[in-house]
Amino acid sequence: MKLSARNVLKGEVKKLTPGMVNTEVVVELAGGAEIVAIITKQSAEGLALAEGKEIHAVIKASNVMIATD
C-alpha cells in the first residue's frame, strides 16, 4: 500500500464503540498514547476491526488548529 499522506501511525485497536451510523475507534500507539477516529459503521465492518487488531491510522490534514481559553 502506498499513500500520499505523510502521517501514518501504527497502532492497535483498543476499543470500538459502534453507533447507528458511525463507529468510534480508539487506537493505542506505541508508548501508550491514544488517538480516536470516527468512521462509518460500514467501514469498520468492512475492515473487520476488532479490539487487539493491529492497524495503521492515516492522518492527512491541511490544517491543525490550536486554541486556548
pLDDT one-digit tens code per residue, 20-37: 999 999 999 999 999 999
As a whole number of angstroms, the distance between CA 39 and CA 11 comes to 16
pTM: 0.84
| Domain that residue 46 falls in | 7-59
Is 31 part of a structural domain of the chain?
A: yes
Averaged pLDDT score across all residues of the chain: 91
CATH number at residue 39: 2.40.50.100
As a whole number of angstroms, the distance between CA 18 and CA 11 comes to 19
Provide the pLDDT for residue 60: 80
Burial state string for 19-31 with b = 16 or more CB within 10 A and e = fewer than 16: eeebbebbbeeee
The H-assigned helical ranges of the chain are 41-46
Which pLDDT band holds residue 65 (cuts at 50, 70, 90)?
confident
